[in-house]
Amino acid sequence: MMKANAYRTSFVTQAGFTLVEILVAIALFAILMAVLSSTLLGTLNINGKSQQRLASTTKVQQVVENVKASWTSSAKALANYGNVCVEMEGAVPAGTTVQVQGLDKRGGNAGSAVNAVFKQPGACSATVPTSMPDMRRVTVKSTDADGKAVTIVLDIVNPGRL
């Protein structure tokens, strides 16, 4: 008899969760995970779009820097500026356009917009034109993978006027 009482006492004093409590806990955990996973996926989607936008902006900025270097700091800066020619390694990235507009001293339009000519280093003409605008407005446009436009505009002073 002593043995049966000891077994019954130890069985009654054991604590634990019931099946209903465990099922409720699992349901709450599942709801919490659904909410958190949708938030996390939304954040990752925004991050991916931001990286695409940054890549497009960087691509356009590199083209602008090549134009600026070719027209201000190269040995043939004045000729390159006058001939609307840009010397750079490689090709202009796909989907990128470069428009150049002549400007007068006050920044007003002094001619129609033309496309810049891109050539390998040393391939632009060294002949300096007799007539050149005081400034040129360079507009570089590109579109990212989502079709959103990225545009950078830069005004460059005629290197012969510096």
Please list the residues that pair with 86 across neighbouring strands. 118
Taking a C-beta distance cutoff of 8 angstroms, is the pair 160, 78 a contact?
yes
Q: In the β-sheet with 135-143, what is the strand arrangement from edge to edge?
A: 114-115, 97-103, 135-143, 149-157
Q: Which of 144 and 151 is assigned the larger pLDDT?
A: 151
Whether pLDDT at 143 is above 90: no
Q: What's residue 99's pLDDT?
A: 92
Alpha-carbon gap, residue 93 to 45, rounded angstroms: 25
- Asked whether the predicted pLDDT for residue 2 surpasses 70, the reply is no
Q: Identify the residue whose tokens are 């005629």.
A: 158
pLDDT at residue number 4: 55
In whole angstroms, give the CA distance from residue 58 to residue 53.
9
At 75-107, the pLDDT tens digits run 788 889 889 989 888 888 888 889 999 888 887
* Whether pLDDT at 7 is above 80: no
Per-residue pLDDT band for 151 (boundaries 50, 70, 90) equals: very high
pTM: 0.71
Residue with the two structure tokens 């360079």: 138
Average pLDDT over residues 120-130: 87
User: Is pLDDT of 5 > 60?
Assistant: no
> Residue 12: pLDDT above 60?
no
Residue 11 has pLDDT above 70, yes or no: no
Q: Establish how many alpha carbons lie within 13 A of residue 124's alpha carbon, considering only the half-sphere containing its beta carbon.
A: 28
